[in-house]
Structure 1
Amino acid sequence: MVNVKGKWALITGASRGIGYQIATFMAKMGCNLILHGRKLEHLEKISEEVKKYGIETYCVQAEFSEPTQVVTMLDEIESTGIAVDILFNNAGLQVAYRKDFWKTPIEDFEISFRVNFISAALICYRLIPPMIERGFGRVVNVTSGIKNEPEQAAYSASKAALDKFTKDLSSKLDGTNVMINLADPGWCRTDLGGPNAPNPVESVIPGIVIGAFIDDKKSGRLFPAQAFTGLTLEEAVAKAERMS
């Protein structure tokens, strides 16, 4: 199992929900954090909370619906000289629930793909090559299990694009010490998931983070976080490494 103490992880959408859970857990494990939010002020609470674990933090802002802001964020991270070892592409947007899905506006697809897929692809393209050069890297792309709901077509299609991108890219990394995998948090009570979701947001731990800790040089897998709820990190990693 990977020891993440002293490594640097970039967590997108870290100010709340699943990103908040990821940040807190990784901090407890001694991992330094680059925390992303739409606005820096949104990150004040999580940034202060994780510092009690004795880690370093750096905060960045970017509106992921604007690809130029993603590039600017990446330029800023690069300018710090921080080497990103672990990437959690967690930020996501569910633009609307269209009861009359036959009239879904094209704008739903445009913004969903920019936030949920294109931003993640841009970050992967920038950060994975340096990981390869250094001989270590872990990438976790957060996806969704939503299916058979055309009411959420734009959201689910953008996540399906992320799935395909991840699995295709994994073919170039499989067998190396740079690994890329998918994690599905399940339907959780977050701002995105809503109050009627069956799972508390805390249930994503440890399943949502195990892609950062596995060490079997296998990429392209999907880890359903709810299948690991209640396990210790060590138990979760062992279970994950048995998955094909």
Structure 2
Amino acid sequence: MIDVKGKWCLVTGGCRGVGRLIAIEMAKLGANLILQGRDKSHAEKVIAELAPYGVQVKAVGCNLENEAEIEAALAEIDSFGVQVDLVFNNAGLMSHYFSDYTTNTMDDFRQAMAVNFFAPIKIAYHFLPGMIKRGFGRMQLTTSGIANEPELAAYACAKAALTKFVKDFACKLNGTDVMMNVMDPGWLRTDLGGPNAPNAPETVVPGALVSVLLDDKKSGRWFSAQDYVGKSVADAVEAGRNVFA
């Protein structure tokens, strides 16, 4: 398990839901945080929550549907003059539910792809070169196990594309200390998952941290956060060594 104390960690969607929970757990481990939200002011409450852990916290705001805003946020992060070693590409958007699953609109596909695929891979391409040059980095992209629901085809297809993106990088990253994997949080009672989901948001930890804390130099894997419910962080990371694909 890597030591993240003093390392800078970017969490997209870090102002609420799963992102907030990840930020809190990483702060407990001593990581400094950069929180991305739709509006920078949304981070204020989380920043106050992180204060007791004595870590540094910064925030950026951008609409992940807007490429220019993403570029501005990334430029702002660069201006901080810090080395981002850990990235949780967590933010996502649920598409509309089409009861008549043959009527899914192209606008819905475009929005789902913009937030759930184009935004995270743009962020990945921004930070991966530096990680590769330095010989160290962790990148986790949040996927979904959603299947057999054409009513939510836009969301499902965007997440499938994201998983493919990560898996195809494994041939380049395996054996190096730059690791990129995907994490499925499970169906959670969040703003994205809705009130009928079977799992409480808190069940996402420690599983949501495993792929970033591992030190086994393996990429392209799928980690299911619900597999680690009830474990300590250290035990979850040790169990994660058994995930091969």
TM-score in terms of structure 1 length: 0.98
Report the Cα distance in structure 1 between the residues aligned to 2:92 and 2:168, rounded to whole angstroms: 21
Cα deviation, 1:170-229, whole Å, max 9, x if unaligned, reads 221111000001100000110111111110000000101111110000001100000001
Cα offset for 1:80? 1.4
Structure 1 residue ranges, 4+ long, deviating more than 2 angstroms after superposition: none
Q: SS state of the match for residue 111, structure 1?
A: helix
Are 2:70 and 1:70 equivalent residues in the alignment? yes
What corresponds to 1:2 in structure 2?
2
Report the Cα distance in structure 2 between the residues aligned to 1:159 and 1:225, rounded to whole angstroms: 16
Q: How does 1:34-113 map to 2 (within 5 A)?
A: 34-113=34-113
Q: SS state of the match for residue 2, structure 1?
A: coil
Report the Cα distance in structure 1 between the residues aligned to 2:179 and 2:133, rounded to whole angstroms: 13
What corresponds to 1:200 in structure 2?
200
Report the Cα distance in structure 2 between the residues aligned to 1:170 and 1:129, rounded to whole angstroms: 15
- The amino acid that maps onto 1:63 is N
Cα offset for 1:118? 0.5
Report the Cα distance in structure 1 between the residues aligned to 2:112 and 2:240, rounded to whole angstroms: 29
Cα offset for 1:168? 0.8
Report the Cα distance in structure 2 between the residues aligned to 1:113 and 1:47, rounded to whole angstroms: 29
What corresponds to 1:143 in structure 2?
143
- The amino acid that maps onto 1:223 is F
Cα offset for 1:95? 2.6
Report the Cα distance in structure 2 between the residues aligned to 1:44 and 1:173, rounded to whole angstroms: 36
Report the Cα distance in structure 2 between the residues aligned to 1:169 and 1:132, rounded to whole angstroms: 12
Q: How does 1:200-219 map to 2 (within 5 A)?
A: 200-219=200-219
- The amino acid that maps onto 1:240 is G
What corresponds to 2:127 in structure 1?
127
Task: Select between 70-79 and 144-153 the one with higher mean Cα deviation.
Answer: 70-79
Report the Cα distance in structure 1 between the residues aligned to 2:68 and 2:157, rounded to whole angstroms: 23
Alignment length (residue pairs):
244
Root-mean-square deviation (CA, aligned residues, Å) is 0.7
What corresponds to 1:221 in structure 2?
221
Q: SS state of the match for residue 173, structure 2?
A: coil
TM-score in terms of structure 2 length: 0.98
Q: SS state of the match for residue 180, structure 2?
A: strand
- The amino acid that maps onto 2:187 is W
Report the Cα distance in structure 2 between the residues aligned to 1:171 and 1:49, rounded to whole angstroms: 39
- The amino acid that maps onto 2:228 is F
Cα deviation, 1:34-82, whole Å, max 9, x if unaligned, reads 0000001211111111121000011000100011111111111112111
What corresponds to 1:185 in structure 2?
185
Q: SS state of the match for residue 19, structure 1?
A: helix
Report the Cα distance in structure 1 between the residues aligned to 2:95 and 2:236, rounded to whole angstroms: 32
Cα offset for 1:103? 0.9
Q: SS state of the match for residue 84, structure 2?
A: coil
Report the Cα distance in structure 2 between the residues aligned to 1:97 and 1:16, rounded to whole angstroms: 23
What corresponds to 1:20 in structure 2?
20
Cα offset for 1:108? 0.5
Q: SS state of the match for residue 18, structure 2?
A: helix
